[in-house]
Structure 1
Protein backbone atom coordinates (compact mmCIF):
# COMPACT_ATOMS: atom_id res chain seq x y z
CA UNK A 1 0.00 0.00 0.00
CA UNK A 2 1.55 3.27 -1.15
CA UNK A 3 0.31 5.35 1.77
CA UNK A 4 2.43 3.25 4.12
CA UNK A 5 5.54 4.75 2.50
CA UNK A 6 4.89 7.87 4.62
CA UNK A 7 5.06 6.36 8.12
CA UNK A 8 4.86 9.77 9.82
CA UNK A 9 1.21 10.27 8.80
CA UNK A 10 -0.24 7.86 11.36
CA UNK A 11 1.68 9.14 14.41
CA UNK A 12 1.02 12.75 13.42
CA UNK A 13 -2.71 12.09 13.03
CA UNK A 14 -2.79 10.36 16.42
CA UNK A 15 -1.04 13.28 18.16
CA UNK A 16 -3.30 15.85 16.50
CA UNK A 17 -6.53 14.00 17.32
CA UNK A 18 -5.40 13.43 20.91
CA UNK A 19 -4.46 17.09 21.27
CA UNK A 20 -7.80 18.31 19.95
CA UNK A 21 -9.70 15.78 22.09
CA UNK A 22 -7.93 17.16 25.16
CA UNK A 23 -7.98 20.87 24.31
CA UNK A 24 -11.36 21.47 22.66
CA UNK A 25 -14.08 20.11 25.05
CA UNK A 26 -13.73 22.78 27.79
CA UNK A 27 -14.54 25.47 25.20
CA UNK A 28 -17.73 23.77 24.02
CA UNK A 29 -19.50 24.09 27.38
CA UNK A 30 -20.00 27.85 27.36
CA UNK A 31 -18.58 27.99 30.86
CA UNK A 32 -16.00 30.77 31.06
CA UNK A 33 -14.42 29.26 34.18
CA UNK A 34 -13.39 26.14 32.27
CA UNK A 35 -11.25 28.14 29.85
CA UNK A 36 -7.57 27.39 30.32
CA UNK A 37 -6.71 31.06 29.72
CA UNK A 38 -8.48 33.58 31.93
CA UNK A 39 -8.64 37.32 31.27
CA UNK A 40 -10.34 40.31 32.88
CA UNK A 41 -11.19 41.73 29.45
CA UNK A 42 -14.89 41.02 28.87
CA UNK A 43 -14.93 39.98 25.16
CA UNK A 44 -11.83 37.79 25.61
CA UNK A 45 -13.81 34.58 26.19
CA UNK A 46 -15.94 34.58 23.00
CA UNK A 47 -12.87 35.40 20.91
CA UNK A 48 -10.97 32.63 22.68
CA UNK A 49 -13.74 30.09 21.98
CA UNK A 50 -13.81 31.14 18.31
CA UNK A 51 -10.05 30.79 18.10
CA UNK A 52 -9.91 27.36 19.73
CA UNK A 53 -12.80 25.89 17.73
CA UNK A 54 -11.59 27.21 14.36
CA UNK A 55 -7.95 26.34 15.09
CA UNK A 56 -9.15 22.79 15.82
CA UNK A 57 -10.74 22.71 12.36
CA UNK A 58 -7.47 23.97 10.89
CA UNK A 59 -5.24 21.45 12.64
CA UNK A 60 -7.48 18.48 11.80
CA UNK A 61 -7.84 19.39 8.12
CA UNK A 62 -4.12 20.16 8.04
CA UNK A 63 -3.27 16.51 8.62
CA UNK A 64 -5.50 15.45 5.74
CA UNK A 65 -4.00 18.06 3.43
CA UNK A 66 -0.37 17.05 3.99
CA UNK A 67 -1.15 13.33 3.55
CA UNK A 68 0.50 12.56 0.15
CA UNK A 69 -1.69 9.53 -0.57
CA UNK A 70 -4.93 11.49 -0.07
CA UNK A 71 -3.63 14.46 -2.06
CA UNK A 72 -2.69 12.35 -5.10
CA UNK A 73 -5.64 9.93 -4.92
CA UNK A 74 -8.42 12.47 -4.32
CA UNK A 75 -7.37 15.83 -5.82
CA UNK A 76 -10.93 17.18 -5.85
CA UNK A 77 -11.38 16.44 -2.16
CA UNK A 78 -7.94 17.90 -1.51
CA UNK A 79 -9.22 21.19 -2.90
CA UNK A 80 -12.47 21.00 -0.91
CA UNK A 81 -10.71 20.24 2.35
CA UNK A 82 -8.27 23.04 1.54
CA UNK A 83 -11.15 25.53 1.36
CA UNK A 84 -12.36 24.32 4.77
CA UNK A 85 -8.83 24.70 6.12
CA UNK A 86 -8.64 28.30 4.92
CA UNK A 87 -12.20 29.62 5.32
CA UNK A 88 -13.40 27.73 8.41
CA UNK A 89 -10.02 27.22 10.03
CA UNK A 90 -7.14 29.62 9.51
CA UNK A 91 -9.09 32.76 8.59
CA UNK A 92 -11.37 32.97 11.67
CA UNK A 93 -8.75 31.43 13.95
CA UNK A 94 -6.09 33.86 12.77
CA UNK A 95 -8.30 36.94 13.07
CA UNK A 96 -9.48 35.98 16.56
CA UNK A 97 -5.87 35.09 17.38
CA UNK A 98 -4.88 38.67 16.64
CA UNK A 99 -7.40 39.88 19.21
CA UNK A 100 -6.64 37.45 22.01
CA UNK A 101 -2.93 37.70 21.25
CA UNK A 102 -3.04 41.45 21.73
CA UNK A 103 -5.11 41.08 24.92
CA UNK A 104 -3.08 38.21 26.39
CA UNK A 105 -2.72 38.22 30.17
CA UNK A 106 0.82 36.80 29.90
CA UNK A 107 2.77 39.99 29.29
CA UNK A 108 4.30 41.91 26.38
CA UNK A 109 6.76 39.21 25.28
CA UNK A 110 3.97 36.70 24.66
CA UNK A 111 1.81 39.49 23.23
CA UNK A 112 4.29 40.34 20.46
CA UNK A 113 4.85 36.66 19.66
CA UNK A 114 1.14 35.83 19.45
CA UNK A 115 0.30 38.80 17.25
CA UNK A 116 3.23 38.14 14.91
CA UNK A 117 2.34 34.45 14.72
CA UNK A 118 -1.27 35.24 13.80
CA UNK A 119 -0.16 37.74 11.13
CA UNK A 120 2.29 35.29 9.56
CA UNK A 121 -0.25 32.47 9.71
CA UNK A 122 -2.82 34.54 7.84
CA UNK A 123 -0.23 35.84 5.37
CA UNK A 124 1.29 32.46 4.51
CA UNK A 125 -2.14 30.92 4.04
CA UNK A 126 -3.33 33.79 1.82
CA UNK A 127 -0.17 33.55 -0.33
CA UNK A 128 -0.72 29.78 -0.67
CA UNK A 129 -4.34 30.38 -1.70
CA UNK A 130 -3.31 32.95 -4.30
CA UNK A 131 -0.60 30.66 -5.69
CA UNK A 132 -3.12 27.84 -6.10
CA UNK A 133 -5.56 30.13 -7.90
CA UNK A 134 -2.75 31.08 -10.31
CA UNK A 135 -1.92 27.36 -10.67
CA UNK A 136 1.59 28.00 -9.37
CA UNK A 137 1.59 24.73 -7.49
CA UNK A 138 5.25 24.72 -6.49
CA UNK A 139 4.82 28.06 -4.72
CA UNK A 140 1.48 26.87 -3.33
CA UNK A 141 3.17 23.86 -1.76
CA UNK A 142 5.92 25.96 -0.17
CA UNK A 143 3.54 28.51 1.34
CA UNK A 144 1.22 25.77 2.58
CA UNK A 145 4.09 23.98 4.29
CA UNK A 146 4.87 27.22 6.14
CA UNK A 147 1.19 27.63 6.99
CA UNK A 148 0.95 24.04 8.24
CA UNK A 149 4.03 24.50 10.42
CA UNK A 150 2.40 27.47 12.14
CA UNK A 151 -0.86 25.53 12.48
CA UNK A 152 0.93 22.68 14.24
CA UNK A 153 3.07 25.01 16.35
CA UNK A 154 0.39 25.05 19.05
CA UNK A 155 1.50 21.51 19.90
CA UNK A 156 5.22 22.34 20.04
CA UNK A 157 4.27 25.40 22.07
CA UNK A 158 2.92 23.13 24.80
CA UNK A 159 6.05 20.97 24.74
CA UNK A 160 8.30 24.00 25.16
CA UNK A 161 6.03 25.24 27.94
CA UNK A 162 6.81 22.07 29.93
CA UNK A 163 10.53 22.45 29.22
CA UNK A 164 10.46 26.11 30.30
CA UNK A 165 8.63 25.20 33.51
CA UNK A 166 11.21 22.56 34.41
CA UNK A 167 14.05 25.00 33.77
CA UNK A 168 12.55 28.05 35.48
CA UNK A 169 10.42 26.69 38.32
CA UNK A 170 13.19 27.10 40.93
CA UNK A 171 14.81 30.17 39.38
CA UNK A 172 11.96 32.63 38.78
CA UNK A 173 9.61 34.10 41.42
CA UNK A 174 6.25 32.39 41.43
CA UNK A 175 4.39 35.58 40.48
CA UNK A 176 6.53 36.02 37.36
CA UNK A 177 6.65 32.35 36.35
CA UNK A 178 3.53 32.21 34.09
CA UNK A 179 4.69 35.19 32.02
CA UNK A 180 8.23 33.83 31.75
CA UNK A 181 7.05 30.39 30.64
CA UNK A 182 4.54 31.80 28.18
CA UNK A 183 7.08 34.23 26.74
CA UNK A 184 9.57 31.46 26.04
CA UNK A 185 7.06 28.86 24.82
CA UNK A 186 5.17 31.20 22.49
CA UNK A 187 8.34 32.32 20.71
CA UNK A 188 10.26 29.05 20.55
CA UNK A 189 7.11 27.04 19.75
CA UNK A 190 6.77 28.53 16.26
CA UNK A 191 10.12 30.10 15.34
CA UNK A 192 12.18 26.90 15.54
CA UNK A 193 9.71 24.77 13.49
CA UNK A 194 9.45 27.56 10.93
CA UNK A 195 13.23 27.81 10.60
CA UNK A 196 13.48 24.03 10.22
CA UNK A 197 10.79 24.03 7.54
CA UNK A 198 12.58 26.80 5.67
CA UNK A 199 15.83 24.81 5.76
CA UNK A 200 13.94 21.76 4.50
CA UNK A 201 12.41 23.76 1.63
CA UNK A 202 15.76 25.19 0.58
CA UNK A 203 17.77 22.00 0.88
CA UNK A 204 19.05 20.35 -2.29
CA UNK A 205 18.52 16.59 -2.44
CA UNK A 206 21.53 14.64 -3.59
CA UNK A 207 19.98 13.71 -6.92
CA UNK A 208 19.21 17.34 -7.70
CA UNK A 209 22.70 18.45 -6.69
CA UNK A 210 24.25 15.81 -8.92
CA UNK A 211 22.06 16.90 -11.83
CA UNK A 212 23.01 20.57 -11.31
CA UNK A 213 26.78 19.94 -11.25
CA UNK A 214 28.38 20.78 -14.58
CA UNK A 215 29.72 17.84 -16.44
CA UNK A 216 33.41 17.65 -17.27
CA UNK A 217 34.28 19.38 -20.59
CA UNK A 218 34.76 17.10 -23.51
CA UNK A 219 38.28 16.97 -24.96
CA UNK A 220 38.77 19.25 -27.90
CA UNK A 221 38.98 17.61 -31.32
CA UNK A 222 42.28 18.04 -33.10
Structure 2
Protein backbone atom coordinates (compact mmCIF):
# COMPACT_ATOMS: atom_id res chain seq x y z
CA UNK A 1 0.00 0.00 0.00
CA UNK A 2 2.84 2.36 0.83
CA UNK A 3 4.55 1.66 -2.48
CA UNK A 4 1.36 2.25 -4.46
CA UNK A 5 0.54 5.51 -2.70
CA UNK A 6 4.09 6.74 -3.18
CA UNK A 7 4.05 6.26 -6.92
CA UNK A 8 1.92 9.34 -7.78
CA UNK A 9 4.35 11.52 -5.82
CA UNK A 10 7.18 10.39 -8.10
CA UNK A 11 5.31 10.65 -11.39
CA UNK A 12 5.86 14.41 -11.71
CA UNK A 13 9.59 14.31 -10.86
CA UNK A 14 10.08 11.41 -13.28
CA UNK A 15 8.25 13.31 -16.00
CA UNK A 16 10.30 16.43 -15.35
CA UNK A 17 13.54 14.45 -15.53
CA UNK A 18 12.49 13.17 -18.96
CA UNK A 19 11.52 16.72 -19.90
CA UNK A 20 14.92 17.95 -18.69
CA UNK A 21 16.71 15.51 -20.98
CA UNK A 22 15.87 17.77 -23.93
CA UNK A 23 18.20 20.65 -22.93
CA UNK A 24 20.63 18.33 -21.12
CA UNK A 25 21.25 16.06 -24.12
CA UNK A 26 21.37 19.01 -26.51
CA UNK A 27 23.94 20.64 -24.25
CA UNK A 28 25.97 17.44 -23.97
CA UNK A 29 26.08 17.19 -27.76
CA UNK A 30 27.33 20.79 -27.95
CA UNK A 31 30.06 20.13 -25.38
CA UNK A 32 31.00 17.02 -27.33
CA UNK A 33 31.44 19.10 -30.47
CA UNK A 34 33.66 21.58 -28.65
CA UNK A 35 35.79 18.91 -26.99
CA UNK A 36 36.34 16.76 -30.09
CA UNK A 37 37.02 19.60 -32.51
CA UNK A 38 34.00 19.13 -34.74
CA UNK A 39 33.74 20.92 -38.06
CA UNK A 40 33.20 24.65 -37.64
CA UNK A 41 30.10 25.94 -39.37
CA UNK A 42 28.32 29.32 -39.43
CA UNK A 43 25.92 27.96 -36.78
CA UNK A 44 28.57 26.92 -34.25
CA UNK A 45 31.52 29.20 -35.03
CA UNK A 46 30.65 31.55 -32.16
CA UNK A 47 30.90 28.69 -29.65
CA UNK A 48 34.36 27.66 -30.86
CA UNK A 49 35.53 31.28 -30.80
CA UNK A 50 34.44 31.69 -27.14
CA UNK A 51 33.61 28.32 -25.56
CA UNK A 52 33.66 29.21 -21.85
CA UNK A 53 30.23 30.93 -21.63
CA UNK A 54 28.40 28.16 -23.48
CA UNK A 55 30.10 25.41 -21.43
CA UNK A 56 29.24 27.21 -18.18
CA UNK A 57 25.66 27.62 -19.37
CA UNK A 58 25.30 23.97 -20.37
CA UNK A 59 26.82 22.52 -17.19
CA UNK A 60 24.86 24.75 -14.82
CA UNK A 61 21.58 24.33 -16.70
CA UNK A 62 22.03 20.55 -16.56
CA UNK A 63 22.60 20.64 -12.80
CA UNK A 64 19.67 22.99 -12.32
CA UNK A 65 17.29 20.97 -14.50
CA UNK A 66 18.01 17.54 -13.03
CA UNK A 67 18.19 18.57 -9.37
CA UNK A 68 15.08 20.74 -9.63
CA UNK A 69 13.02 17.78 -10.76
CA UNK A 70 13.60 16.04 -7.40
CA UNK A 71 12.30 19.11 -5.57
CA UNK A 72 8.87 18.21 -6.92
CA UNK A 73 8.82 14.98 -4.86
CA UNK A 74 6.91 15.85 -1.66
CA UNK A 75 7.87 12.59 0.02
CA UNK A 76 11.56 13.27 -0.48
CA UNK A 77 11.19 16.79 0.92
CA UNK A 78 9.45 15.45 4.01
CA UNK A 79 11.75 12.51 4.65
CA UNK A 80 15.05 14.22 3.81
CA UNK A 81 14.76 17.94 4.56
CA UNK A 82 18.54 18.19 4.86
CA UNK A 83 18.98 16.95 1.30
CA UNK A 84 16.28 19.33 0.16
CA UNK A 85 18.06 22.34 1.66
CA UNK A 86 21.47 21.22 0.39
CA UNK A 87 20.06 20.85 -3.11
CA UNK A 88 18.59 24.33 -2.83
CA UNK A 89 21.99 25.77 -1.97
CA UNK A 90 23.35 24.26 -5.17
CA UNK A 91 20.34 25.07 -7.35
CA UNK A 92 20.30 28.82 -6.70
CA UNK A 93 23.89 29.52 -7.80
CA UNK A 94 23.53 27.05 -10.68
CA UNK A 95 20.48 28.89 -11.94
CA UNK A 96 22.16 32.27 -11.49
CA UNK A 97 25.23 31.15 -13.45
CA UNK A 98 23.11 29.56 -16.17
CA UNK A 99 21.02 32.69 -16.61
CA UNK A 100 24.04 34.99 -16.48
CA UNK A 101 25.92 32.96 -19.08
CA UNK A 102 22.82 32.96 -21.28
CA UNK A 103 22.57 36.74 -21.03
CA UNK A 104 26.28 37.10 -21.84
CA UNK A 105 25.89 34.97 -24.96
CA UNK A 106 22.82 36.93 -26.02
CA UNK A 107 24.66 40.23 -25.69
CA UNK A 108 28.12 39.36 -26.99
CA UNK A 109 27.92 36.32 -29.27
CA UNK A 110 27.39 37.04 -32.98
CA UNK A 111 23.79 36.28 -33.79
CA UNK A 112 23.00 33.48 -36.28
CA UNK A 113 20.77 34.35 -39.25
CA UNK A 114 17.65 33.01 -37.52
CA UNK A 115 18.02 35.36 -34.54
CA UNK A 116 16.50 38.79 -34.93
CA UNK A 117 16.18 41.72 -32.56
CA UNK A 118 12.82 40.47 -31.19
CA UNK A 119 14.23 37.13 -30.05
CA UNK A 120 17.18 38.97 -28.52
CA UNK A 121 14.76 41.10 -26.49
CA UNK A 122 12.81 38.04 -25.38
CA UNK A 123 16.00 36.30 -24.24
CA UNK A 124 17.13 39.34 -22.30
CA UNK A 125 13.73 39.72 -20.62
CA UNK A 126 13.32 36.09 -19.61
CA UNK A 127 16.99 35.63 -18.69
CA UNK A 128 16.76 38.65 -16.39
CA UNK A 129 13.45 37.37 -15.00
CA UNK A 130 15.08 34.02 -14.18
CA UNK A 131 17.74 35.79 -12.09
CA UNK A 132 15.16 38.06 -10.45
CA UNK A 133 12.89 35.15 -9.49
CA UNK A 134 15.82 33.26 -7.96
CA UNK A 135 16.82 36.32 -5.93
CA UNK A 136 13.25 36.84 -4.74
CA UNK A 137 12.93 33.17 -3.82
CA UNK A 138 16.18 33.24 -1.90
CA UNK A 139 15.33 36.44 0.01
CA UNK A 140 11.87 35.05 0.81
CA UNK A 141 13.25 31.93 2.49
CA UNK A 142 15.75 34.04 4.41
CA UNK A 143 12.66 35.70 5.93
CA UNK A 144 11.12 32.23 6.53
CA UNK A 145 8.36 33.08 4.04
CA UNK A 146 7.97 29.58 2.63
CA UNK A 147 4.86 30.31 0.54
CA UNK A 148 6.44 33.17 -1.41
CA UNK A 149 9.71 31.27 -1.61
CA UNK A 150 7.98 28.32 -3.26
CA UNK A 151 6.09 30.56 -5.67
CA UNK A 152 9.17 32.44 -6.87
CA UNK A 153 11.21 29.26 -7.21
CA UNK A 154 8.43 27.69 -9.25
CA UNK A 155 8.45 30.71 -11.56
CA UNK A 156 12.24 30.51 -11.85
CA UNK A 157 12.02 26.85 -12.81
CA UNK A 158 9.34 27.60 -15.41
CA UNK A 159 11.52 30.23 -17.08
CA UNK A 160 14.71 28.18 -16.80
CA UNK A 161 13.11 25.17 -18.47
CA UNK A 162 11.78 27.16 -21.40
CA UNK A 163 14.15 25.34 -23.77
CA UNK A 164 12.33 22.06 -23.19
CA UNK A 165 8.96 23.47 -24.18
CA UNK A 166 10.46 25.41 -27.07
CA UNK A 167 11.37 22.13 -28.71
CA UNK A 168 7.65 21.48 -29.15
CA UNK A 169 6.68 25.05 -30.08
CA UNK A 170 9.41 25.30 -32.73
CA UNK A 171 9.26 21.76 -34.13
CA UNK A 172 6.09 22.31 -36.21
CA UNK A 173 7.68 25.35 -37.87
CA UNK A 174 10.92 23.52 -38.64
CA UNK A 175 8.99 20.57 -40.07
CA UNK A 176 7.66 22.79 -42.86
CA UNK A 177 10.92 24.48 -43.81
CA UNK A 178 12.98 27.38 -42.51
CA UNK A 179 10.81 29.79 -40.47
CA UNK A 180 11.50 33.51 -40.59
CA UNK A 181 12.89 35.48 -37.67
CA UNK A 182 9.47 36.56 -36.42
CA UNK A 183 8.18 32.98 -36.32
CA UNK A 184 11.31 31.79 -34.50
CA UNK A 185 10.96 34.57 -31.93
CA UNK A 186 7.27 33.82 -31.34
CA UNK A 187 8.01 30.10 -31.07
CA UNK A 188 10.53 30.79 -28.32
CA UNK A 189 8.12 33.17 -26.60
CA UNK A 190 5.37 30.53 -26.67
CA UNK A 191 7.62 28.07 -24.83
CA UNK A 192 8.28 30.51 -22.00
CA UNK A 193 4.66 31.66 -21.81
CA UNK A 194 3.31 28.11 -21.62
CA UNK A 195 5.66 27.28 -18.75
CA UNK A 196 4.86 30.45 -16.84
CA UNK A 197 1.10 29.98 -17.26
CA UNK A 198 1.31 26.40 -15.96
CA UNK A 199 3.45 27.56 -13.03
CA UNK A 200 0.98 30.31 -12.13
CA UNK A 201 -1.88 27.82 -12.27
CA UNK A 202 -0.07 25.48 -9.90
CA UNK A 203 0.85 28.32 -7.57
CA UNK A 204 -2.67 29.73 -7.35
CA UNK A 205 -4.76 26.58 -7.26
CA UNK A 206 -6.20 25.72 -3.84
CA UNK A 207 -4.73 22.69 -2.09
CA UNK A 208 -6.84 19.57 -1.83
CA UNK A 209 -4.80 17.85 0.83
CA UNK A 210 -6.09 18.12 4.32
CA UNK A 211 -3.73 19.60 6.83
CA UNK A 212 -1.53 21.31 4.26
CA UNK A 213 -1.64 25.07 3.92
CA UNK A 214 -0.48 26.91 0.83
CA UNK A 215 -0.03 25.73 -2.74
CA UNK A 216 1.49 22.34 -3.44
CA UNK A 217 4.61 23.47 -5.24
CA UNK A 218 8.27 22.66 -4.76
CA UNK A 219 10.43 24.48 -2.28
CA UNK A 220 14.11 24.94 -3.09
CA UNK A 221 14.96 25.94 0.46
CA UNK A 222 18.37 27.45 1.08
CA UNK A 223 18.30 28.31 4.76
TM-score (norm 2): 0.77
Report the counterpart of residue 18 of structure 2 in structure 1. Answer: 14
Find the counterpart in structure 1 of residue 214 from structure 2: none
Q: Distance in 1 between matches of 2:91 and 2:130?
A: 12
Question: CA shift at 1:22, angstroms?
Answer: 4.4
SS of the residue aligned with 1:115? helix
Q: How does 1:195-210 map to 2 (within 5 A)?
A: 195-204=197-206
- The 3 A distance-change label for structure 1 pair 33 and 98 is farther
Which of these residues, 120, 143, 165, is aligned with residue 174 of structure 2?
165
1:60-79 equivalences under 5 Å are: 60-79=66-85
Mapped contact 1:32–1:45 kept (Cα < 8 A):
no
**Cα distance change of structure 1 residues 50 and 43 upon mapping to structure 2, 3 Å threshold:** farther
Cα distance in 2 for residues equivalent to 1:35 and 1:195: 37
* Structure 2 unmatched runs, 5+: 211-223
**Alignment root-mean-square deviation, CA:** 2.8
What is the distance in 1 between the residues matched to 2:171 and 2:148? 35
In the other structure, the counterpart of 2:96 is 91
Structure 1 gaps of 5+ residues are 209-222
Distance 2:149 2:40 in 1: 39
Q: Tell me the equivalent position of 2:150.
A: 141
Task: Please say if 1:125 is aligned against 2:134.
Answer: yes
Q: Structure 1-normalised TM-score? A: 0.78
Change beyond 3 A, Cα 1:37–1:150: farther
Q: Which has the larger radius of gyration?
A: 1
Give the structure, 1 or 2, with the largest relative contact order (CA under 8 Å, sep 6 or more).
2
**2:61 aligned to which of 55, 60, 64:** 55
Q: How far is 1:143 from its partner?
A: 0.7
- Which segment drifts farther, 48-57 or 24-33? 24-33
8 Å Cα contact 1:157-1:188 kept in structure 2: yes
Query: Of the candidates 108, 111, 125, which is equivalent to residue 116 of structure 1?
Result: 125
Equivalent pairs counted in the alignment come to 200
- How far off its partner does 1:124 sit? 0.5
Partner of 1:135, secondary structure, is coil
